[in-house]
Structure 1
Amino acid sequence: MFSFNPPAASTVIATAIAPSPASIQSFRLNVPSPSKTIVRIAPQDARSAPRLPQHRRGANLAEVDPHLPRRRRVPVVLRVTLAFVSLTAYGGLEGQQGQPDEAACPEYGEGLGSPMETVRYLADDALGGRLSGSAGERCAGDYIAAMFASLGLEPGGEDGFFQELPLASAAQPHAPPGRGRNVVGILRGSDPELRESAVVVGAHYDHLGLGEFGSTGEAGEIHNGADDNASGVAAVLAAARALRGGLRPARSIVFIAFTGEELGLIGSAWYANHPAIPLEETVAMINLDMVGRLEDDELIVYGMGTAPEWEEIVPAANADLGISLAWEEGGFGPSDHTSFYANEIPVLHFFTNVHADYHRHTDDAEKIDAPGLGRVARLTENVVRTLANRTERLAVIPGVGEREQRASGSGAWLGTVPDFTPVDVGVLLAGVTEGSPAAGGGLARGDVLIGLGDYEVEDLQAFTDALAAYRPGDEVVLRYLRDGEERRATVRLGDRADRPQ
């Protein structure tokens, strides 16, 4: 799961969102001098923003969410939206690879071992923290591909199991140079018609390398990321092995290990634009991110509001496992399921919660709850098997936990929903909020916003800066591209406090 520790000489614009200003007793971003930080504290309905992990160890930021009737209440962790979900800043990440040119990949045995064997391999010091694009991450990708092959999965990439992609782009200009690889394997369904559709099961396998960015601890130490997210990959592989055995499910299942999640969901956004099975035939996406610390026997399940059928499917899948489930409705959040929900695909995100080792070099394999990880993998198997054998598709409910562009400084609101798929210039829209100024101006999914008032919109950061320069009620001209043709619309900016929930 990604957070943000920007490079030096950066300007970071942050909006801290909480049920009330009084609930925030401490807030810290890891912003090195001489960076400039702009922080705004804004009240927010707990149902309308994704939950992000704490950015400061020991910060007393938790309250009880009063908006979860009939469910186990989930502690509210401070919700922080830094300009946009991918969390970039001014200033590069030059020199952040922190990896040798060649990595001596640890050896592994033939066939698929236990989930803990996977965790130990991926969290080995020899992989150097699996920074996206590094030699250590390539070792991890090779391992995952070998495991997919041992299960007899069909390669789902352009190069065998690998889907190669650039890490830096106009949308992510501060990502490290070079290329990353998604690892994609397909279990083809048994039904001649349903096999053309798929369930996606995914987990990111990149981490923070030596912690030069994103770390909440000391830079220069290997950040092995055992929970974040070797645990998720291990659960995906365990579920794949279980689903591969016995009767083959009717629908196809696409298993993906994503690169670039810690840099801003780069790998999952790329897959959403280059899917192995078309997104319109993707019935659901299950994301496993940080599932190795099943403390107090509780698993947080995000995305429960993205389809009404989840309220039946998830408890039934858990019936024999007895995991205590804490439900959260929102479909947008700081992990790879966001790239699918932005495309109106129902999602679930399994998460065993943040802990003191989050994004620190102390997130090591010996701290993983092995029995708990196995139970999460079985829950995943049960949910996916149910989805893959259903003849009816889920009824997606879009816009739950609306991921809108939030600016700091002013309270101006436009109501756009950014898509993180790379574009040459501008901000690609995944959609607009109903009743928003953007909707009133005629903007729609697929448009590329290139200008706001007096400002050019070159990327998401530029859009954030432009919106922050205006106030509610200001009239601005939007310039955008639709099918390559430039269009204009005049809108009156709204007030975030008055936006529909």
Structure 2
Amino acid sequence: MREPGELRGGRRSARPHHGRWLIPGLVFASLTSPDGLQGQAGEQDETACPVYGARLGTPMETVRYLADDALGGRLSGSAGERCAGEYIAAMFASLGLEPGGEDGFFQELPLASAAQPHAPPGRGRNVVAILRGSDPELRESAVVVGAHYDHLGLGEFGSTGEAGEIHNGADDNASGVAAVLAAARALRGGPRPARSIVFIAFTGEELGLIGSAWYANHPTIPLEETVAMVNLDMVGRLEDGEMIVYGMGTAPEWEEIVPTANADIGIPLAWEEAGFGPSDHTSFYANDIPVLHFFTNVHSDYHRHTDDAEKIDAAGLGRVARLTENVARALAERRERLAVIPGVGEREQRAGGYGAWLGTVPDFTPVDFGVLLAGVTEGSPAAGGGLARGDVLIGLGDYEVGDLQAFTDALAAHRPGDEIVLRYLRDGEEHEATVRLGDRADRPQ
């Protein structure tokens, strides 16, 4: 998961890092990086890839596989991440799911761009599978259930701890992938739902939602036929706490669907309205698709090399997988579409929760220069200035805005109440708007 805003605080202390995990019944072999894939440092690499069995095991077996030292932290585009993708594709295949990529289960995409300066060169892969619906009409529409499978590698970018150590990302986000696979197995093993369900393991989330943004522009089933998206990111530390459910304000029907799906599971839930946030559901909500994001909260191992499989709550992870199954089935059996409520929450790129507020929601699709907007928050300074979805912001006051980082820096250099001129492109033509920046402490929630 990318850096979140302030939530409800961590509630668990770090424990010692015990190194690599071995999955019972599996052996490990040194395999040359497939297809000449680039390693962590951009050079040819050899990675010890765990050899997996032919069938999907328990969620904890998935976590231990993905969070093993042998995969080197699953940095996007690395050999270790490629091994992880091969594993996920094999598990989808073992369930008899239909491949949903251009190359079997794989959807290949570029990682580096001017808008994502921290991304490594080369290409990454989303892993996409389909459980085709049974209803002749509804099977042409879909529910998306997804989780990112990349992490931080050796922590040179994004770590809150020590760079140079393997960041295994057991909770972030091997846990989410494990829950998606477990839900897929349960849904495949039961009565086939009326509507299709698309299961996706995204690459590039830690680098800026690259994989989910790519899928949103190259969907397997058209976005206009995608009725909802359920995202799982950091769902492995439930224990005796609450699971936070983001996106409850994106459709009124969630207030019935989620409690009903949870009735026989009894997970304590904390509801949050926002549909925009620092994970892959944002790429779907930016396209007016109702979303949920399941999240068992931050902890002291977040983005550190101590986020290991031994700290995952196995029983809690199983409960999250069951809730995911129930929600996905309810959506896939529902004939009526959800009534999307757009613009709930925002995803503005800046550190901290206070300061100057503009109210723009960036689209993570790469552009040559500037920040492409997925929308603006209702009642915000940006909305008052006439900015809208599809505009490309290129200037803020005296600052050029070449990418998201430049936008963050420009906004941080101003204070609430400052009157500034925004420069933006619309349909290739440059425009200006004068706005007065608001205060993030007073922004609509």
Length-normalised TM-score, structure 2: 0.87
- Residue matched to 1:227: 171
Contact kept? 1:442, 1:489, Cα under 8 Å: no
CA distance in 1 between counterparts of 2:241 and 2:443 reads 37
Residues 156 and 478 of structure 1: CA distance in aligned 2, closer, same or farther (over 3 Å): same
CA distance in 2 between counterparts of 1:112 and 1:473 reads 56
How far the C-alpha of 1:309 sits from its partner, in A, is 1.0
The letter for the 2-side match of 1:494 is: L
Contact kept? 2:349, 2:405, Cα under 8 Å: no
- Residue matched to 2:317: 373
Residues 226 and 443 of structure 1: CA distance in aligned 2, closer, same or farther (over 3 Å): same
The letter for the 2-side match of 1:298 is: E
How far the C-alpha of 1:483 sits from its partner, in A, is 2.4
CA distance in 1 between counterparts of 2:180 and 2:438 reads 42
- Residue matched to 2:124: 180
CA distance in 2 between counterparts of 1:345 and 1:409 reads 26
- Residue matched to 1:493: 436
SS at match of 2:124: strand
Question: Which of residues 278, 294, 297 in structure 1 aligns to 2:238?
Answer: 294
Moved more, 467-476 or 388-397: 467-476
Q: Is 1:340 aligned to residue 288 of structure 2? A: no
Contact kept? 1:96, 1:212, Cα under 8 Å: no
Contact kept? 1:471, 1:493, Cα under 8 Å: no
- Residue matched to 2:31: none
Task: For residues 359-397 of structure 1, give each alpha carbon's deviation from its aligned partner in whole angstroms, at most 9, with x where no partner exists.
Answer: 222222222222221111011000000000101111112
CA distance in 1 between counterparts of 2:352 and 2:56 reads 48
Q: Is 1:122 aligned to residue 78 of structure 2? A: no
Residues 177 and 52 of structure 1: CA distance in aligned 2, closer, same or farther (over 3 Å): farther
Identity %: 87
CA distance in 2 between counterparts of 1:389 and 1:377 reads 18
How far the C-alpha of 1:179 sits from its partner, in A, is 1.4
Gap runs ≥5 in structure 1: 5-48, 59-94
CA distance in 2 between counterparts of 1:395 and 1:147 reads 34
- Residue matched to 2:221: 277
CA distance in 1 between counterparts of 2:176 and 2:43 reads 23
Contact kept? 1:133, 1:178, Cα under 8 Å: yes
CA distance in 2 between counterparts of 1:282 and 1:407 reads 32
Pairwise CA RMSD? 2.7
SS at match of 2:50: coil
CA distance in 2 between counterparts of 1:458 and 1:478 reads 13
Q: Is 1:103 aligned to residue 47 of structure 2? A: yes
Q: Is 1:328 aligned to residue 272 of structure 2? A: yes
Task: For residues 218-268 of structure 1, give each alpha carbon's deviation from its aligned partner in whole angstroms, at most 9, with x where no partner exists.
Answer: 322222211211111111011111111232111111100011112222211
How far the C-alpha of 1:104 sits from its partner, in A, is 3.1
How far the C-alpha of 1:471 sits from its partner, in A, is 5.2
Ranges of 4+ aligned residues in structure 1 off by more than 6 Å:
407-410
Q: Is 1:212 aligned to residue 168 of structure 2? A: no
Length-normalised TM-score, structure 1: 0.78
SS at match of 1:121: helix
- Residue matched to 2:79: 135
- Residue matched to 1:3: 3
The letter for the 2-side match of 1:51 is: L
The letter for the 1-side match of 2:2 is: F
Task: For residues 412-451 of structure 1, give each alpha carbon's deviation from its aligned partner in whole angstroms, at most 9, with x where no partner exists.
Answer: 5433221111111111011122233332333211111223
Q: What does 1:83-102 align with in structure 2 at a 5 Å threshold?
A: 97=41, 101-102=45-46
CA distance in 2 between counterparts of 1:321 and 1:407 reads 36
Aligned length: 421
Q: What does 1:304-323 align with in structure 2 at a 5 Å threshold?
A: 304-323=248-267
- Residue matched to 1:151: 95
Gap runs ≥5 in structure 2: 15-38
